[in-house]
Structure 1
Amino acid sequence: MSTPTETALARRWRMDVNMGTSGSPDWQLCPAITEFQWTADPNHEDDTTYDTDGWKTNVKTAQEWEVEATFNRKASPDSTTYSPVHEKLRTAFLAYGEDSRVGIRFYDRNGLPEAYTGEVLVAWEPQGGEYTDLDQVQVTLTGTGPLTPITNPVTP
């Protein structure tokens, strides 16, 4: 195995949205992403006792995760429909209950091993701007349940 020497680029991430159901997934690319960032923050609680001889100890009690992505809105050539994937996220943002949950997966587009999946709740934030700006939306996808490592779907 050779020693890695190339720096990975931020644009290596790709995100798919499940347009089907959890039992019968239909993964489709979320197109036109211009920014992508994810976090998975643990919750640590102080577990220190007299028995630790003055050394503080902690225990992990929970974990949360989130994806923030910005994308250019894509419309049909006749300007009558938007990307169905973008619309899935927008309509989930306005929904309640089961309809507010969306399955996503994100992974290294080059086939490296980092890849994850989970269900999210959607916050939808149009970015507005000047008359010369592109129509962009920032979504905050808050994990509901576990973020699960998966085999990268583009691994050769």
Structure 2
Amino acid sequence: MSTPTETALARRWRLEINMGTEAVPDWQLCPAVTEFQWTAEPNHEDDTSYDTDGWGENTKTGQDWEVEVTFNRKATPDSTAYSAVHEAIRLAFFAYGEPSKVHLRFFDRNGLPEAYVGKGLPNWEPQGGEARDLDQVQVTFTGTGPLTPITNPMAA
């Protein structure tokens, strides 16, 4: 194996939404992503006791994750419909219960090992703009349940 020398690019991430069911998934690309960022913040609690000779100890007691994505809205050439994936996210934003959860996965589009799957609650935020601006939406998916590492679907 050679030593890595190339810097990875931010645009390496690919976001897909399950447009099917968990039993029969239909993973579809979330098109026109212009920004993508994810975090998975652990919760650490102080677990120090007299038994540690004054050294601090901590225990991981939980973890929260979030995906923030901005994309350009895409419509059909006759301007009668938006991207089905974008619409599924928007409609989940207005829903409650299970329909409000978006089953998503994101991974390195070049096939490198980073790849994750989970369910998130979307916060849909149109970005507005001036007359010459593109119609963009920022969506923050707040994880509900685990964010699980998976085998990258693009891996060779």
Give the TM bin, normalised by the shorter chain: over 0.9
> Equivalent residue for 2:69?
69
Q: For 2:98 and 2:114, locate their aligned partners in 1 and report how far apart those are by CA, in whole Å.
A: 28
> Equivalent residue for 1:103?
103
Stretch deviating more after TM superposition (46-55 or 6-15) = 46-55
> Equivalent residue for 2:90?
90
Shift of 1:125: 0.2
Shift of 1:91: 0.1
> Equivalent residue for 1:126?
126
- The answer to whether the aligner puts 1:2 opposite 2:16 as a matched pair is no
> Equivalent residue for 2:135?
135
Structure 2 runs not aligned, ≥5 long: none
Q: For 1:78 and 1:57, locate their aligned partners in 2 and report how far apart those are by CA, in whole Å.
A: 61
For the residue of structure 2 that corresponds to 1:87, the secondary structure is helix
Cα-Cα RMSD: 0.5
Shift of 1:54: 1.1
Shift of 1:151: 0.6
Which letter maps to 2:12? R
> Equivalent residue for 1:16?
16
Shift of 1:139: 0.1
Under a length normalisation based on structure 1, what TM-score does the superposition of the two structures give?
0.99
Deviation track 1:13-65 (CA, whole Å, cap 9, x = no partner) reads 00000000111100000000000000000000000111111111100000010
Structure 1 runs not aligned, ≥5 long: none
Under a length normalisation based on structure 2, what TM-score does the superposition of the two structures give?
0.99
| Shift >2 Å, 4+ stretches | none
